[in-house]
Structure 1
Amino acid sequence: MSPALALLTLLLAAGPAAAGWPPALSLDAASAGDTMLHGVPVPSAVLPAEPLDACPKFRLFSESASYPDEAPAVKDVSPFPPAALPSFADDLDRAGLLEALGTNLAYWKIKPDSYRITVGKDSFSAPAMRAASARLLEIFSSGLTPAEERARLAAEFRAYRAVADDGSGNVVFTGYYEAEIPATRAPTAESRYPLNLRPADLVKTTPAMGVDFDYGRYVDGVMKRHLSSGEIYAGGLSGQGLEAAWSAHPAQIMLAQIQGSGVLRFPDGDLIKIGFDGANGHAFKSVQRLLMDCGEIPSMNFQDFIAYLSRQENGREERLVSLNPRYIFFRVKDRNARPQGAIGTPLVPGRSIAVDPKPVPYGLAVVMKTRRPVAQPGGGISFRDFTRMAATHDTGSAIRGPGRVDIFWGAGPVAELEASSMKASGELYLILPK
């Protein structure tokens, strides 16, 4: 019997009770021609072939620093005549809008007067933003008709619109929500993937450090990115007591990481809530986009994509998830806490949006015009046009450039279905002081 076949026979004989079974593929090599399966070198001859190896896009994915889920043509924002803002009868209740605008005002109240933002080629001071935020809150609290509200915006504010190189001006809107995933308090034969808390050596980088990543750690006095997702799943952080909980599926962990928050539900029905507490500094790479580009999967909503990954066998789920090197660390929150955005305040369902804060700063009121999915009683989805006021409260590693907007949907099965199905082009207008 060959050494490879003997090893495979030994692994199969160990059965599900063996620690770390079923094995997961790792990109670490023990020696030439070998692959590590949870610390055990296995000759590559006994491993299943990876279909992606034959895809030309896979090389581009592997060699690129990032691989976004969308690459829209939108490059910048530019002034737009406020009188030409779309007519709107806001499709959500007024209470959520007032809360979102109130969050904006609170955000600007704590900024020093010297603080400024840049939108397009123009600059705005914190005092001007405070006054504008207070005025917007007053306008939308006054019981005016939609036409009167639009007239006030046109008379008292400037507007900016995302502008595309192709002249379309359209942005890509997606949705996110507070995900709920099954978990265990301790590792088991199945639940062996950790949801990690923030490591003690993780540092939020600053421009003065001269690096192009958001988080890292000092290695021999040099700021470097932290361990990749693959290195973490291979045990790179084990022994530090960082595990908040354990999951049977790295795809479920990726779901919570992309959503930025989550509810971990234990077998006894108890739960804990987790929220964003830093990242490893690696750029986001969209595995879903890669599989679509390589023809492995059709276009599908994010909910179905997570289910697809979770069905992969022979360690392929871990390998696919690890192709995205970015890893999000969590903190445990109060069980009654609402998900928080990047500005540190609770997100408002339907009103808080995630943006790239470089071209689209935090604390802005915006007008969105696009299409949204609507859950149907029978479980299906329909789509309808809508126009809505919202506010920039959050960001995400996949949200880059002014041409990407992620709308926070809330929590629960309806939010999950609709947010996972939300992907539409549309228009985005920023409201700024004159």
Structure 2
Amino acid sequence: MHGRVPGQQPGWQGLPRALAVLASLCLIAACGPLVPRIEQPEAPAPSTAREAGVYPGPAIRELRFAPDDARDALASFIESCPRLLRRTDASGLTTGEDWRPACTAAATWPVADAPRFFETWFEAARVGDGRSFVTGYFEPEIAGSRDRRPGFEVPVYGLPGDLVRAWPQSVPEAERTGNPPLGRFDESGNFIPYYTRAEIEDGALAGRGLEIAWVADPVEFFFLQVQGSGRLRTPEGEVIRIGYAGQNGRAYTGIGGVMRERGLIGDGPGQYAGSMQGIMQYIREHPAEGRALMRENESWVFFRVLTGDGPLGALEVPVRPGSSVAADPRFVPLGAPVYLTADRPELDGVWIAQDTGGAIKGPNRFDSFWGAGEDARRIAGGMSGRGTALLLLPKGTLARLGTR
């Protein structure tokens, strides 16, 4: 387990000048029409780390690597290395060979000297402004069954064969760049979006043999889908671990944000707590409204049964409590160390980017993993940290990128 423990007003000095400017504008308006203001279009959001801008961070020895944090991160980095060496880096920052010296050294590095490993082999870089937002996730455990039986009526679907990537006929050839969208072909052969959460809940996939398990509580299962993996405990005491297999291609909508906009959660009188626990309490106490809220998130996650150690992240290696984060691979090489400082001290230190998430989009957006059980649920459900993020890249990367 990781060593982290949870736990100017405007002045009046400019007023005379402001009045003079206002008087001048009034005179101009009296003499003739003002030149109309030209609206400048907003710059498109960066799609990779290179577009966001990569800048040198502080000297690596200025960073504090707590021994326990560094030890756990080193272990996770070693597990990531085989994938890191073979994986194409979508951020455009590194190649597999860039990581080979650090991975080779990591394999035999003394665990007791883990902080020096990161100081020796890496340099710090900032992507964009470096301002980070970090949430939390965990591995939930809910009641489930391998077979449908009374009290276990909510299906857990495996990945359907008709969920494919293709270009709709309405998209011109010149615009067909990147990955095609996910969807399905209808009876007429037209490519259309895949079924929504509501359609799936209403039986769009029933009777096709896609069920890999059944669960008792649709609300608990909704939050397990948000986490992306979890454990099903059967009445007989068996534990079935399930992991992310795919998603229906529909946009993810965080119902917490929707509820906050509507004044249902927050800090006001009569509101529910702005945490996973508060959201769940509202849904329990308002079942009809809660079901409608959950359906506003049209995204549906498909699962597969997992064997082996720990839930698997997008890097296909186990994610570890307190040392693994989910990140957007367009901005962070999956497998790379990330150094966080935040207004939540349990986030401070070095993590390894080993996972992705539907809501984890953009530079400096992370989701920290806290393990399984009630403590993990409590920490992850209330996690919302803001601070700074640094990528730890192999030494020499910044010079190659031309940033120093």
Give 1:161's aligned residue. 126
Q: Which of 379, 401, 405 lines up with 2:362 in the alignment?
A: 401
Give CA-to-partner distance per residue, 1:9-65, whole Å, 9 cap, x none.
Answer: xxxxxxxxxxxxxxxxxxxxxxxxxxxxxxxxxxxxxxxxxxxxxxxxxxxxxxxxx
Give CA-to-partner distance per residue, 1:291-334, whole Å, 9 cap, x none.
Answer: 11110122522133223323323x33322211100000011223
> The residue matched to 2:361 in structure 1 has which SS?
coil
Deviation for aligned residue 1:361: 2.2
Deviation for aligned residue 1:138: 6.6
Over 3 Å counting, the alpha-carbon distance change for 1:117 and 1:85 in structure 2 is farther
1:264 and 2:232 matched: yes
188-197 vs 357-366, which moves further: 188-197
Amino acid of the structure 2 residue aligned with 1:81: G
Asked if 1 retains the 8 angstrom alpha-carbon contact of 2:70 and 2:350, the reply is no
Deviation for aligned residue 1:371: 4.2
Give 2:255's aligned residue. 287
Asked if 1 retains the 8 angstrom alpha-carbon contact of 2:67 and 2:114, the reply is no
From the two aligned structures, give the one with the greater strand fraction: 1
Deviation for aligned residue 1:134: 3.3
Equivalent positions of 1:59-138 (< 5 A) are: 76-83=52-59, 86-90=62-66, 92=68, 94-111=70-87, 115=88, 117-119=90-92, 123-135=93-105, 137=106
Q: Which of 318, 329, 332 lines up with 2:302 in the alignment?
A: 329
Asked if 2 retains the 8 angstrom alpha-carbon contact of 1:98 and 1:141, the reply is no
Deviation for aligned residue 1:133: 3.6
Equivalent positions of 1:199-238 (< 5 A) are: 199-203=160-164, 215-219=182-186, 220-238=188-206
Asked if 2 retains the 8 angstrom alpha-carbon contact of 1:364 and 1:432, the reply is yes
Deviation for aligned residue 1:399: 0.4
> The residue matched to 1:183 in structure 2 has which SS?
strand
Relative to the length of structure 2, the TM-score reads: 0.73
Partners of 1:359 and 1:94 lie apart in 2 by: 23
290-299 vs 220-229, which moves further: 220-229
Deviation for aligned residue 1:104: 2.9
Asked if 2 retains the 8 angstrom alpha-carbon contact of 1:213 and 1:282, the reply is no
Equivalent positions of 1:41-52 (< 5 A) are: none
Asked if 2 retains the 8 angstrom alpha-carbon contact of 1:90 and 1:387, the reply is no
Asked if 2 retains the 8 angstrom alpha-carbon contact of 1:103 and 1:345, the reply is yes
424-433 vs 211-220, which moves further: 211-220
Give 1:318's aligned residue. 291
Over 3 Å counting, the alpha-carbon distance change for 1:386 and 1:173 in structure 2 is closer
Structure 1 runs not aligned, ≥5 long: 1-74, 373-383
Over 3 Å counting, the alpha-carbon distance change for 1:238 and 1:118 in structure 2 is closer
Give 1:276's aligned residue. 244
Q: Which of 181, 186, 190 lines up with 2:142 in the alignment?
A: 181
Give the CA RMSD over aligned residues. 3.0
Partners of 1:134 and 1:161 lie apart in 2 by: 25
Over 3 Å counting, the alpha-carbon distance change for 1:93 and 1:144 in structure 2 is same
198-207 vs 244-253, which moves further: 198-207
Amino acid of the structure 1 residue aligned with 2:110: S
Give 1:354's aligned residue. 326
Partners of 2:370 and 2:97 lie apart in 1 by: 31
Deviation for aligned residue 1:277: 0.7
Give CA-to-partner distance per residue, 1:70-123, whole Å, 9 cap, x none.
Answer: xxxxx9352123416753142735542222111232113334xxx55545xxx4
Over 3 Å counting, the alpha-carbon distance change for 1:386 and 1:355 in structure 2 is closer
Amino acid of the structure 2 residue aligned with 1:92: D
> The residue matched to 1:255 in structure 2 has which SS?
helix
Partners of 1:133 and 1:210 lie apart in 2 by: 34
Asked if 1 retains the 8 angstrom alpha-carbon contact of 2:131 and 2:386, the reply is yes
Asked if 2 retains the 8 angstrom alpha-carbon contact of 1:249 and 1:310, the reply is no
Asked if 2 retains the 8 angstrom alpha-carbon contact of 1:162 and 1:427, the reply is no
Relative to the length of structure 1, the TM-score reads: 0.68
Give 1:254's aligned residue. 222
Give 2:47's aligned residue. none
Amino acid of the structure 2 residue aligned with 1:366: V
* Higher Rg of the two aligned structures: 2
Amino acid of the structure 1 residue aligned with 2:289: R
How many equivalent residue pairs? 332
Over 3 Å counting, the alpha-carbon distance change for 1:116 and 1:193 in structure 2 is closer
Q: Which of 286, 306, 309 lines up with 2:280 in the alignment?
A: 306
Amino acid of the structure 2 residue aligned with 1:243: E
Partners of 2:66 and 2:189 lie apart in 1 by: 53
Percent identity, aligned pairs only? Answer: 30
1:141 and 2:110 matched: yes
> The residue matched to 2:155 in structure 1 has which SS?
strand
Give 2:10's aligned residue. none
Over 3 Å counting, the alpha-carbon distance change for 1:300 and 1:158 in structure 2 is same
Give 1:69's aligned residue. none
Give CA-to-partner distance per residue, 1:239-289, whole Å, 9 cap, x none.
Answer: 112223333433212211111111112334333111111110001011111
Deviation for aligned residue 1:401: 0.2
Partners of 1:344 and 1:351 lie apart in 2 by: 16
Give 2:382's aligned residue. 421
> The residue matched to 2:59 in structure 1 has which SS?
helix
1:243 and 2:219 matched: no
Over 3 Å counting, the alpha-carbon distance change for 1:365 and 1:194 in structure 2 is same
> The residue matched to 1:238 in structure 2 has which SS?
coil
Give CA-to-partner distance per residue, 1:341-396, whole Å, 9 cap, x none.
Answer: 11111112211110011121212112111244xxxxxxxxxxx4553211111100
Asked if 2 retains the 8 angstrom alpha-carbon contact of 1:89 and 1:387, the reply is no
1:343 and 2:315 matched: yes
Amino acid of the structure 2 residue aligned with 1:227: Y
Deviation for aligned residue 1:421: 1.6
Partners of 2:209 and 2:232 lie apart in 1 by: 18
